[in-house]
Structure 1
């Protein structure tokens, strides 16, 4: 029987590119690894992962063929259609907060690196991954002040080891409303829909407008009826409890709504300025960015606003945001004083927490990449307490983290499943660990899965390509065991930030060696 808890505060074709390392040195001031990788292939595989996590009725163009329809009665008991969305990890609960953060980060990746994704032939797949999430959020937001927060619950779900196609566990749905507030969940979902509205503005303007409308309603709901969602939805507390509270999500939502309203949403900008101090946006010096803690993301986006001359009246507050953003960046670079830095493993991996550490690595790599671009565009450096750093050092560290993920580490292990010759074969994932439903349609019961599949020593019968597993411990040690869920379970919010970073690194690689293929075949 599995009784894991995900709340991590705390408890929560191999294609090598053969070219000279000196080519990369001209791009990166700091070259963390002389071992080259095919970032285009990694990018393609990372986007494939989201298709493995789909809940609901799968489309005709579904590429992950070992998955089939599931959760087709979600919401029926409550009289609402909640079919669709994503399973967050290796189990079958649909948790609203990490799902929304996943979509926000996919959307931000497209906003920043849409051209690079298009050049790699992966933009359409990224758009499909985002829309699979936002279609579900539209369903879940059944009225202005009602948002369905979760389908299923972790406790009953973890008693069973089944394919999603065989699910026999509770699919009870839980909601937030005026009497049961959840400002953090409403805020993150608003951020996801606002960011996605930017993504679809040109290609699907009607859908973009619909998303923006929902985002504005959700922000107003979350701001008017304030409270932590895990106080209203108790079953989520042990899995995705809101340790940071809701103020960061309200600032995060306001920022994305300001951007989504074409930077003319004066109300949202004033909210960011007026609430900067009392909501912690200019007060908290943070060394993590995650599904729970959004401050570093808000601070980095606020710093970018300084480039716009129209904000000079509020430069003082924006510079305070920028100072906190750079505290985070300096912490990643080990350029702060004392305990204000992020630890590293002996192999050089950023290490925040024992449980599912890779989520912090991918999110840090994304923020480093975005801020590197900002510094380069604005011709700035960062004055860290332990030295001046420029844009190339930031992208160099981001590349070092990605290279570690892809195999440049003491274990010579790729922690991106399906990439390279050596990757985790026993991922903690129900669907991947049991015979494919399309080939073996016989029903597998709740405990039968534990008896016949969970305890098997061999590799999973299905490869969940593109999943970024939790990864090694603080000493670079990793045990590829199905029961080792702290290290072998993957989550959607692990892979989502990696999409943008891989797109950027693939572009830089292409600029240095344009004869290489953009992507590898599956």
Structure 2
């Protein structure tokens, strides 16, 4: 939790010259987006969505595909007289942290908004919608009053003293509430953003649900804005796990832009314009994007807004947002004169030691979205060093995606369950112990550490689709359960990749079909 190789050489000696072989030959010579070997992005897309089912809390549905998981957290909120059953565990522990959960739902929703057709073409739209709805339904429960939001269930300190399957939890399930006297603007605003984004996702398929989500989103935004305060000062137990380093101003701008996108109500746009300078939206030049630091994400959103119908002040501010967004994108591409994102010797973007992959996934998502924008508007990304077109951007994105899937110095896929070699000892309580369905024998708090945590054997259950923290700055990786810096996976690692996998799957299919049709 928390805080490319050489192109494959193919030999066609002694093979009959068939149409299929000719297509393979042409594909091997065709100038692709990248020189990396080709991966099955459709399989990666499917696995990425399967991961969210492994992270479910609550009463699991009849169509649950991850069979080693079972019902858990069925009394969440009971002591406080509220139903908080459901939602997601953020990583390898059993706490439901509201801020990263909401960010996960925002990014999943954004992926569906941006790449809905490609996700549908990959046969995964139903699973994507189910993954979003599972989290959003929980937020509806947690928002019990316009100015009340239950922001966390469980305690990180006591939870980390135990190594138990979620089905066996004996740790505190205390729920933590935000209200007028105990504010938490980051969580209120991020949850508003998630519900506004989900409202867009369900607008055509479930309009009543979409309308309900907008009502919640608007109330939560008003609550977070009117009663301002850092959530980790109200919920002190969140510090050390999900400390809000950036404060809440980025979340308020982020939520305002999502509400504007969902409602087309100029009030929300004006909020983002009028507070752009005071809240840091057009003053912070950022080189990372995460569950905590939203500036790059909101700057990207603002830069995608059309200029038509905007007054002079709005156009000027939106242009400044765009300038900051492009600083972030150019930093990822190593095209700034200074303040570029570091890379490992193997070429992976590297921001910091702990769970570095979260920054990689948000970067590749942002670059893919902006590449589409440049393509549709016939523009270039103007960086300090030079201008970059959408094809070059996608080539770099693919290098990062392929690194994740196995094109890296140690030859391991950092997406669990994908490819032949992937982390087998993921830092994850449920995955590391006999599945509940096969062994309903209760596992106690310290018993889990004694009997399971220190084992040298691979996890009994494969946490398919999880994106682990990944390698260090020198591309080194140690697959050990206790190496949580590298082997723990988080929901917000995988969420941004769903749309990216769908995009590349569609590109691969398009390239293949166009080549076949030209023969």
**TM tier relative to shorter chain:** over 0.9
Per-residue CA deviations over 1:214-267 (Å, capped at 9, x if unaligned) read 000000000000011001100001100100000000000000000110x2x010
What SS is found at the alignment partner of 2:131?
Answer: helix
2:350 is equivalent to residue 351 of structure 1: yes
Alignment of 1:118-267 (within 5 A): 118-261=120-263, 263=264, 265-267=265-267
Q: Distance in 2 between matches of 1:108 and 1:47?
A: 14
What SS is found at the alignment partner of 1:311?
Answer: coil
Q: Distance in 1 between matches of 2:483 and 2:274?
A: 45
Q: Distance in 2 between matches of 1:350 and 1:293?
A: 17
Partner residue in 2 for 1:397: 396
Partner residue in 2 for 1:12: none
> Does the aligned pair in 1 maintain the 2:36–2:399 contact within 8 Å?
no
Residue 34 of structure 1 deviates from its aligned partner by: 2.6
> Does the aligned pair in 1 maintain the 2:2–2:355 contact within 8 Å?
no
> Does the aligned pair in 2 maintain the 1:154–1:239 contact within 8 Å?
yes
Structure 1 gaps, min length 5: 1-5, 9-15, 517-522
Residue 514 of structure 1 deviates from its aligned partner by: 3.2
> Does the aligned pair in 2 maintain the 1:24–1:512 contact within 8 Å?
no
> Does the aligned pair in 2 maintain the 1:7–1:241 contact within 8 Å?
no
Residue 308 of structure 1 deviates from its aligned partner by: 4.1
Alignment of 1:45-124 (within 5 A): 45-124=47-126
Q: CA-atom RMSD, angstroms?
A: 1.6
Q: Distance in 2 between matches of 1:21 and 1:62?
A: 41
Residue 175 of structure 1 deviates from its aligned partner by: 1.1
> Does the aligned pair in 2 maintain the 1:23–1:512 contact within 8 Å?
no
Q: Distance in 2 between matches of 1:371 and 1:146?
A: 36
What SS is found at the alignment partner of 1:49?
Answer: helix
Judged with a 3 Å threshold, the aligned counterparts in structure 2 of structure 1 residues 281 and 435 are, in CA distance, closer, same or farther, namely same
Q: Distance in 2 between matches of 1:289 and 1:122?
A: 26
TM-score w.r.t. the length of structure 1 is 0.93
Alignment of 1:300-311 (within 5 A): 300-305=300-305, 307-311=306-310
Judged with a 3 Å threshold, the aligned counterparts in structure 2 of structure 1 residues 457 and 515 are, in CA distance, closer, same or farther, namely farther
Residue 312 of structure 1 deviates from its aligned partner by: 5.0
> Does the aligned pair in 1 maintain the 2:307–2:315 contact within 8 Å?
no
The structure whose Rg is larger is: 2
Question: Which 4+ residue blocks in structure 1 deviate beyond 2 angstroms?
Answer: 16-28
Judged with a 3 Å threshold, the aligned counterparts in structure 2 of structure 1 residues 76 and 317 are, in CA distance, closer, same or farther, namely same
Q: Distance in 1 between matches of 2:478 and 2:509?
A: 35
Residue 382 of structure 1 deviates from its aligned partner by: 1.7
Q: Distance in 2 between matches of 1:133 and 1:23?
A: 42
Residue 309 of structure 1 deviates from its aligned partner by: 1.1
Per-residue CA deviations over 1:19-54 (Å, capped at 9, x if unaligned) read 4585795452xx2x4311000000000000000000
What SS is found at the alignment partner of 1:346?
Answer: coil
> Does the aligned pair in 2 maintain the 1:94–1:151 contact within 8 Å?
yes
> Does the aligned pair in 1 maintain the 2:416–2:462 contact within 8 Å?
yes
Q: Distance in 2 between matches of 1:383 and 1:67?
A: 48
Q: Distance in 1 between matches of 2:506 and 2:307?
A: 27
Per-residue CA deviations over 1:109-142 (Å, capped at 9, x if unaligned) read 0000000000010000000000000000000001
Q: Distance in 1 between matches of 2:331 and 2:468?
A: 24
What SS is found at the alignment partner of 1:240?
Answer: coil
Q: Distance in 1 between matches of 2:483 and 2:182?
A: 35
Partner residue in 2 for 1:519: none
Q: Distance in 2 between matches of 1:266 and 1:429?
A: 44
Residue 159 of structure 1 deviates from its aligned partner by: 0.5
> Does the aligned pair in 2 maintain the 1:258–1:266 contact within 8 Å?
yes
What SS is found at the alignment partner of 1:473?
Answer: coil
Residue 311 of structure 1 deviates from its aligned partner by: 2.1
Per-residue CA deviations over 1:178-230 (Å, capped at 9, x if unaligned) read 00111111000000000000000010011100000000000000000001100
Alignment of 1:333-372 (within 5 A): 333-338=333-338, 340-372=339-371
What SS is found at the alignment partner of 1:150?
Answer: strand
TM-score w.r.t. the length of structure 2 is 0.94
Residue 479 of structure 1 deviates from its aligned partner by: 0.2
Residue 396 of structure 1 deviates from its aligned partner by: 1.2
Q: Distance in 2 between matches of 1:503 and 1:344?
A: 25
Judged with a 3 Å threshold, the aligned counterparts in structure 2 of structure 1 residues 428 and 19 are, in CA distance, closer, same or farther, namely farther
2:450 is equivalent to residue 451 of structure 1: yes
What SS is found at the alignment partner of 2:199?
Answer: helix
Residue 393 of structure 1 deviates from its aligned partner by: 1.6
Q: Distance in 1 between matches of 2:26 and 2:308?
A: 41
Judged with a 3 Å threshold, the aligned counterparts in structure 2 of structure 1 residues 25 and 247 are, in CA distance, closer, same or farther, namely farther
Q: Distance in 2 between matches of 1:368 and 1:22?
A: 25
Q: Distance in 2 between matches of 1:190 and 1:485?
A: 31
